[in-house]
Structure 1
Amino acid sequence: MGSGEPNPAGKKKKYLKAALYVGDLDPDVTEDMLYKKFRPAGPLRFTRICRDPVTRSPLGYGYVNFRFPADAEWALNTMNFDLINGKPFRLMWSQPDDRLRKSGVGNIFIKNLDKSIDNRALFYLFSAFGNILSCKVVCDDNGSKGYAYVHFDSLAAANRAIWHMNGVRLNNRQVYVGRFKFPEERAAEVRTKDRATFTNVFVKNFGDDMDDEKLKEIFSGYGPTESVKVIRDASGKSKGFGFVRYETHEAAQKAVLDLHGKSINGKVLYVGRAQKKIERLAELRRRFERLRLKEKSRPPGVPIYIKNLDETIDDEKLKEEFSSFGSISRAKVMVEVGQGKGFGVVCFSSFEDATKAVDEMNGRTVGSKPLHVTLGQARRSLFQLFKTVTVQTSNVPRRRKLRTLLCDCKPSY
């Protein structure tokens, strides 16, 4: 593929549609510029620049839809990495069904790349092993970050690339080429390896008055330490957690077994193996998935929970009390042996109606008791967890990555 050369892997797969994805576009590129660029390759149905739904600013990619698949294939073979507005763009087949991408089949990971290797060089280096669906050198504002992904249309092509390229020196740097692994898989490997060798211990819940010396005094009894650090905020106040690095795994393991759950100055310590970033992200992903599954199992609507209900309140009375705030899909008083347990749930059709009911009814006396009304905990936890990740992650590329990772789990209020 590229410059009209025959595909070395043999026949291409036949794609039913004639649409190409165009990536790495300059922000000033318009649909008209795309049309003029690709019209010489054959008749076009349309071109589209994808934009942010709120700000309408371009997202750096778009689509070119040809009338005939042969024209799209010719453009892919001959125009990949051409320039628009002085910036090379990246072409690949548009695939409405993303199951192949999500499956990871045919996807490989390359690291320790020289900064001089860009998308074009990567494409031509690996196209000898099969038909490439997409390839991407990961970059930041300073250029290549030294790693990349190549997605082939078959597992056999990916295996050929790994066999021939792993350990090869490219521009005097020995590259690693291996099978792409999803974050959960990499986290599991790290977890398995580190459990047998860890020396770094994470400690939390020790209060504000802890300093490095006091923490070292507590933990040094289990073996020699390399470093002890209490994490502090901008004002120098302890954040309530820190790290202890031991010289040996045995000392670290002994400290975890002996000190976890121990009470110090009225505080119950959490002591465990310090997790690496990939493990923390995987745990965050699992938490979102658990909340998402819990959310799906709930009745449709936005639930609010009501405690301290009078014994005379039944389902109908509960629905009547809250119906003035909006459409209700369900109202249920929890009962045991025919008698109300003092709490219930009301499901509204919209988030706005639910929050209005919480604001108006919390503390109001119904029957003989004042109500305690709160928003459904699962939805609130999911929303707050997403907000926490977004706000606390100040690094913009990392925040975008987390948003992409977690967007399917965010409540759709």
Structure 2
Amino acid sequence: MNASGPGYPLASLYVGDLHPDVTEAMLYEKFSPAGPIMSIRVCRDVATRRSLGYAYINFQQPADAERALDTMNFEVIKGRPIRIMWSQRDPGLRKSGVGNVFIKNLDDSIDNKALYDTFSAFGNILSCKVVCDENGSRGYGFVHFETHEAATRAIETMNGMLLNDRKVFVGHFKSRKEREAEFGARAMEFTNVYIKNFGDDMDDDRLREIFSKFGKTLSVKVMMDNTGRSKGFGFVNFEKHEEAQKARGSSLSTCCLGPDLAVADMNGKEINGRMVYVGRAQKRLERQSELKRKFEQIKQERVSRYQGVNLYVKNLDDGIDDERLRKEFSPYGTITSAKVMTEGGHSKGFGFVCFSSPEEATKAVTEMNGRIVSTKPLYVALAQRKEERKAILTNQYMQRLATMRALPGPLLGSFQPPPGYFLPPIPQPQTRATFYSPSPVVPVRPATRWSAQPSRPPPYPAATPILRAPVPPRRLVSNISTMRQASTQVPRVPPQAQRVANIGTQTVSARVPSSPTLPRGAPQYKYSSAVRNVQPMGHVPPVAAPQVGEAAVHIQGQEPLTASMLAAAPPQEQKQMIAGERLYPLIHTLHPSLAGKITGMLLEIDNSELLLLLESPDSLRSKIEEAVAVLQAHQATETSHK
């Protein structure tokens, strides 16, 4: 039944324990057989966009959601069993702990489904989980019943029972705060003592002899390795807490334990010439959490101590060492440390300078940032921890990406070709028509214009070409526009197209006046003389300006593109006219491997601005470099997340 609460006939499921790589598409493929799905959302961190390990799936009908809950709970996705429960609008039920049962001492073979099947006889279960780590089950779990009565029946029946030949403990769930309060009270009454660092020549009898003077011992054990030698630590269990406290060395008030128990102190004493440690015996997890808490405290103290006084300096010359770095920054205050980072004895080009006060550090940043030291301008800024810097860069990238997505136009993405789409190849010298083919071809119909080289497959799936008869060059643009209507994607020129000419190309090229021979690989683009076109000296003769009243973009073998032509075209074809026939070839000459992605990014710009970019090579090159910088930042962010 739907446990989301009375009056809310919801069809929303919570899916937990997800692998970090699980996406909405994977969940849709998994859950769609249960019924129509309205929405799926994998919850992610706002800054890093990493999965938080859970998702919400909204079905159209509650019956479909209930079917998915009954049939798909605990199924494995990417090596992890998922946990499904009804989405709870009110978190009070989860936080109150009513109906939640804790089970420990479970056998390693008991998983989520086995635990669910065992306890489902006592009532409706909202959630069931066996806690696991990278090594498997940790031996305990939780079962959350819908009612407190069902939980009580499960505890009365199952507590002390054998599950897979192991006696289990079943009790009511207690919050961490309640457990820590109880554990702290019990810890104050400890009787088991841990001793370490007494060497490898210690045995049980000698350890008992040393500690028996503090009171009656129930057990004494020196831990041994496989060869029978001492590991250097052991345990002594006293009968009474006061005796253990006496052996540990107590600073408690004498009114509590008596004057005789507050005097002796074994902790820090020497045994066999070694200073031993004596303390309360702790479980491994307790010790690890305590050490983690101490480490975090030390880390925070160090961060607060160096906040605003530690400087990061980069773009250092290879000849600058620690002393030179200290000398350059010493006029601005008292330096507590100066370090140039090295690798294999060679400078890595950056370092750190720590001042005694924030005011001195601020003055050094103001004076030294941008100053030339040994022919290089320095970059000086306050040092940031790796986590802080990573979060800032990720946040900046996400803001930039959101801004670009908010612009009008197609979605930001790669420049992909539709099936059977004709796209002009990168212009090449037109001294003679060249035909490359892996095998004889009957010249009946023109073929598509992508590469015919069999050794290098295209970077996109093969598509069935659309064959059309040759057309005069003046109608080439309109012919391409007609064929574009078969697809809504924007075309992308494969790198192989630079050296390809087929029957269709040969037919068109025969009707275009040939131009003087250029060095192979030099693009034959020319811009209108009205937009500061610079002709290459000695290669291409001057070309008269077109006899039109507005600026036009010229590319050999294509009809000039003007603002009026662009306005006359349908809206869905305007971007394609700019990108496929004019923008992509220009970008390909600068960045062949990134031409598709860069073209897709530039399509976010307004059409009028794109025409201005096409008319101005310098402005276009500047925009292309900005796009390359964004792509590199995105790739660096993805690499750091892996």
Q: TM-score, normalised by structure 2?
A: 0.37
1:186/1:278 contact within 8 Å kept: no
Aligned to 2:194: 202
Aligned to 1:254: 246
- By relative contact order (CA 8 Å, sep 6+), the higher-ranking structure is 1
Q: Unpaired segments of 5 or more residues in structure 2?
A: 250-263, 312-332, 337-355, 370-380, 390-642
Distance 1:131 1:252, change over 3 A: same
Match of 2:382 among 340, 348, 366: 348
Matches within 5 A, 1:43-54: 43-47=36-40
Match of 1:242 among 223, 233, 246: 233
Distance 1:66 1:323, change over 3 A: same
Q: Unpaired segments of 5 or more residues in structure 1?
A: 2-6, 327-346, 356-413
Please state if 1:283 is matched with 2:283.
no
| Structure with the higher fraction of residues in strand conformation | 1
Q: Distance in 1 between matches of 2:83 and 2:357?
A: 63
Q: Distance in 2 between matches of 1:94 and 1:324?
A: 57
CA shift for structure 1 position 179: 1.6
Distance 1:350 1:87, change over 3 A: closer
Please state if 1:21 is matched with 2:15.
yes
Compare CA radii of gyration and give the structure with the larger one.
2
Aligned to 1:367: none
Distance 1:145 1:267, change over 3 A: closer
Please state if 1:319 is matched with 2:367.
no
Matches within 5 A, 1:181-196: 181-182=174-175, 185-186=178-179, 188-193=181-186, 195-196=188-189
Q: Distance in 1 between matches of 2:93 and 2:309?
A: 37
Aligned to 2:28: 35
1:229/1:244 contact within 8 Å kept: yes
Q: Secondary structure at the match of 2:155?
A: helix
Q: Distance in 2 between matches of 1:97 and 1:285?
A: 33
2:74/2:81 contact within 8 Å kept: yes
Q: Deviations over 1:217-263 (max 9, x none)?
A: 6435445764353789x9x897xx63341463365343224124554
Q: Secondary structure at the match of 2:282?
A: coil
Matches within 5 A, 1:10-409: 14=8, 18-21=12-15, 23=17, 34-47=27-40, 63=55, 65-68=57-60, 70=62, 73-81=65-73, 89-94=82-87, 101=94, 104-113=97-106, 118-127=111-120, 131-138=124-131, 147-152=140-145, 158-163=151-156, 165-167=158-160, 175-182=168-175, 185-186=178-179, 188-193=181-186, 195-196=188-189, 198=191, 200-204=192-196, 211-212=201-202, 218-222=210-214, 226-227=219-220, 229=222, 242-246=233-237, 248-249=239-240, 251-257=243-249, 258-260=264-266, 263-264=269-270, 270-284=277-291, 286-287=293-294, 304=310, 316-323=359-366, 348=382, 350-351=384-385
Distance 1:177 1:303, change over 3 A: farther
CA shift for structure 1 position 190: 4.4
Q: Distance in 2 between matches of 1:316 and 1:10?
A: 57
Q: Secondary structure at the match of 1:259?
A: coil
CA shift for structure 1 position 108: 1.5
Matched residues, number: 317
1:15/1:69 contact within 8 Å kept: no
2:31/2:68 contact within 8 Å kept: no
Q: Distance in 1 between matches of 2:32 and 2:214?
A: 72
Q: TM-score, normalised by structure 1?
A: 0.52
1:49/1:63 contact within 8 Å kept: yes
